């Protein structure tokens, strides 16, 4: 396969691929969304994504890093509908306390970060890698700040705008298309910047953190949840390497970095660090249920569609429905592969968490010096 066979995830492609979906309402079902895709383009997008990981000249770390925009953008063109179906509007994990619902825990995890970033009413805040805007909408509700969501994926931006309209938040949020390694904003333009499980898509962490530093006003706060390999990760251990690769493949990540690299990158970017901790390994009352439990549910769950989708029976059910839809021509060819990629992600994330070699919540909070 040659890179010339790559289908670039341009705005035109996004329009053609999801044409009927974006004009649809916020809550259209996954079956309707799959039905509305441009089948040919969806199949070519699946093939493009898989080239980064299967037999092809771009199946290597260097190509994935060089082509991180194509890799991650294509990934989100394929998985966004599945994420919303099986997870919700906030694409991140959270620790849970006994009696707390999944949705409550997700919100609480966001509140922890908003409060660490000292976000208050009227502030101008940047959400880097905002997904379909779930955390941004919660930040508006909680703090009364104005949020700019930066995202390089056109489809997610369109979804975020649909949700903003549904929640009557158009005056409190703006969603901007752009690359977080080269942000389309002036220096010193935001009062606070945060990123939730998004900067792991960068080919170089220092690159994205330096951009966050540049656009932040002096004295402003930077707060992130980073996906990292922990100190237990052993580069020479084949099982560890395979898990890291499966997480990368399953989650659209060019390369996972260690917590040490992330910490050094934040220092090099210029931040004065105030909090650095792995929340996955913090034993604090109120967080009895680990983050990965949401993907390790057991045989079956009747806790809403999303709980069911994540259970063993739900996973098999979804795979079989997608197979059937693909067979009868309702879903584009390749959709089963997308579900498979996601199941690879789920298994590798849970295994990586249990071996304590991976965390999705390495918390780094810092400040841009006043002078
Ligand atoms: C990729 C990054 C940096 C963040 C996203 C984290 C999570 C929201 C996703 C990671 C694995 C995903 C899976 C699903 C939803 C979103 C994630 C938890 C599904 C439950 C969606 C429905 C599918 O049928 C199964 C998926 C398993 C993995």
Give residue 243's pLDDT: 98
Q: Is the CB of residue 163 less than 8 Å from the CB of residue 231?
A: no
CA distance 124 to 192: 7
Give residue 255's pLDDT: 98
Please check whether residues 82 and 26 belong to one and the same domain. yes
Nearest CA, atom 21, ligand 1: 86
Please check whether residues 327 and 192 belong to one and the same domain. no
Tens place of pLDDT per residue across the chain (371 aa): 455 589 999 999 999 999 766 555 666 788 888 888 899 999 999 999 999 999 899 999 999 999 999 999 999 999 999 999 999 999 999 999 999 999 999 999 999 999 999 999 999 999 999 999 999 999 999 999 999 999 999 999 999 999 999 999 999 999 999 999 999 999 999 999 999 999 999 999 999 999 999 999 999 999 999 999 999 999 999 999 999 999 999 999 999 999 999 999 999 999 999 999 999 987 777 889 999 999 997 787 777 888 888 888 899 999 999 999 999 999 999 999 999 999 999 999 999 999 999 999 999 999 999 98
- Which DSSP state fits 333? T
Task: Name the residue among 67, 40, 39, 37 with its Cα closest to residue 52.
Answer: 67
- Which DSSP state fits 332? P
In a domain, 167, yes or no: yes
In a domain, 67, yes or no: yes
Q: Which atom of ligand 1 is nearest to the CA of 200?
A: 3
Helix (H, G, I), strand (E, B) or coil at 150: strand
Q: What is the CA radius of gyration of the chain?
A: 20
Give residue 371's pLDDT: 81
In a domain, 298, yes or no: no
Cα of 180 from ligand 1 centre, angstroms? 22
Cα of 254 from ligand 1 centre, angstroms? 17
Give residue 20's pLDDT: 64
Q: Is the CB of residue 163 less than 8 Å from the CB of residue 84?
A: no
Please check whether residues 126 and 230 belong to one and the same domain. yes
In a domain, 296, yes or no: no
- Which DSSP state fits 303? S
Nearest CA, atom 18, ligand 1: 87
Is 190's C-beta closer than 6 angstroms to any atom of ligand 1? Answer: no
Q: Read off the pTM.
A: 0.96
Nearest CA, atom 15, ligand 1: 83
Please check whether residues 275 and 349 belong to one and the same domain. no
Please check whether residues 205 and 278 belong to one and the same domain. yes
Please check whether residues 262 and 348 belong to one and the same domain. no
Host H or E run for residue 79: helix 68-86
Please check whether residues 113 and 87 belong to one and the same domain. no
Host H or E run for residue 220: strand 216-229
Give residue 1's pLDDT: 42
Please check whether residues 143 and 275 belong to one and the same domain. yes
Query: What are 147's two structure tokens?
Result: 């949020």
Where do we find the tokens 């402003």?
220
Give residue 307's pLDDT: 85
Cα of 92 from ligand 1 centre, angstroms? 8
Helix (H, G, I), strand (E, B) or coil at 274: strand
Complex ipTM over 0.95: yes
First to last CA, the chain: 51
In a domain, 73, yes or no: yes
Cα of 120 from ligand 1 centre, angstroms? 30
Nearest CA, atom 1, ligand 1: 251
Please check whether residues 85 and 146 belong to one and the same domain. no
Is 75's C-beta closer than 6 angstroms to any atom of ligand 1? Answer: no
Please check whether residues 119 and 66 belong to one and the same domain. no
In a domain, 289, yes or no: no
CATH of residue 278: 3.40.50.150
Is 318's C-beta closer than 6 angstroms to any atom of ligand 1? Answer: yes
- Report the relative pairing of strands 190-196 and 216-229 from DSSP bridges: parallel
Please check whether residues 192 and 268 belong to one and the same domain. yes
Cα of 264 from ligand 1 centre, angstroms? 28
Q: Which atom of ligand 1 is nearest to the CA of 250?
A: 11
Cα of 271 from ligand 1 centre, angstroms? 31
Is 87's C-beta closer than 6 angstroms to any atom of ligand 1? Answer: yes
Q: Which domain holds residue 12?
A: 3-91+321-354
In a domain, 297, yes or no: no
Please check whether residues 62 and 128 belong to one and the same domain. no
Q: Is the CB of residue 261 less than 8 Å from the CB of residue 344?
A: no
In a domain, 336, yes or no: yes
Cα of 302 from ligand 1 centre, angstroms? 18
Number of structural domains found in the chain: 2
Is 348's C-beta closer than 6 angstroms to any atom of ligand 1? Answer: no
Is 86's C-beta closer than 6 angstroms to any atom of ligand 1? Answer: yes
């Amino acid at each position: 396969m040659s890179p010339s066979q790559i289908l670039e995830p341009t705005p035109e492609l996004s329009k053609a691929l999801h044409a009927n979906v974006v004009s649809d309402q916020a809550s259209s079902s996954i079956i309707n969304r799959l039905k509305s895709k441009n089948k040919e383009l969806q199949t070519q997008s699946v093939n493009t994504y898989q080239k980064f990981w299967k037999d092809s000249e771009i199946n290597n770390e260097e190509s994935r890093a060089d082509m991180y925009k194509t890799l991650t953008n294509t990934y989100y063109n394929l998985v966004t509908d599945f994420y919303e179906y099986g997870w919700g509007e906030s694409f991140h994990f959270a620790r849970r306390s006994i009696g707390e619902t999944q949705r409550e825990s997700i919100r609480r995890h966001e509140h922890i970060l908003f409060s660490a970033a000292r976000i208050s009413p009227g502030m101008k805040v940047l959400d880097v890698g905002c997904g379909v805007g779930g955390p941004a909408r919660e930040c508006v509700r909680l703090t009364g700040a104005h949020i700019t969501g930066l995202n390089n994926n056109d489809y997610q931006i369109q979804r975020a705008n649909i949700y903003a309209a549904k929640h009557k938040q158009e005056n409190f949020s703006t969603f901007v298309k752009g690359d977080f390694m080269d942000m389309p904003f002036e220096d010193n333009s935001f009062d606070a910047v945060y990123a939730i499980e998004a900067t792991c898509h960068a080919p170089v962490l220092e690159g994205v953190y330096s951009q966050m530093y540049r656009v932040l006003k002096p004295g402003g706060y930077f707060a992130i949840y980073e996906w990292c390999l922990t100190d237990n990760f052993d580069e020479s251990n084949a099982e560890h390497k395979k898990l890291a690769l499966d997480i990368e493949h399953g989650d659209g990540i060019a390369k996972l970095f260690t917590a040490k690299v992330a910490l050094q990158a934040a220092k090099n970017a210029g931040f004065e660090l105030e909090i650095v901790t792995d929340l996955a390994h913090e034993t604090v009352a109120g967080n009895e249920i680990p983050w990965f439990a949401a993907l390790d549910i057991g045989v079956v769950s009747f806790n809403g569609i999303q709980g069911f989708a994540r259970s063993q029976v739900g996973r098999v059910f979804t795979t079989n429905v997608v197979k059937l839809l693909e067979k009868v021509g309702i879903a584009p060819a390749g959709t089963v592969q997308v579900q498979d990629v996601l199941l690879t992600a789920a298994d590798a994330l849970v295994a990586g968490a249990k071996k304590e070699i991976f965390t999705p919540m390495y918390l780094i909070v810092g400040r841009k010096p006043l002078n």
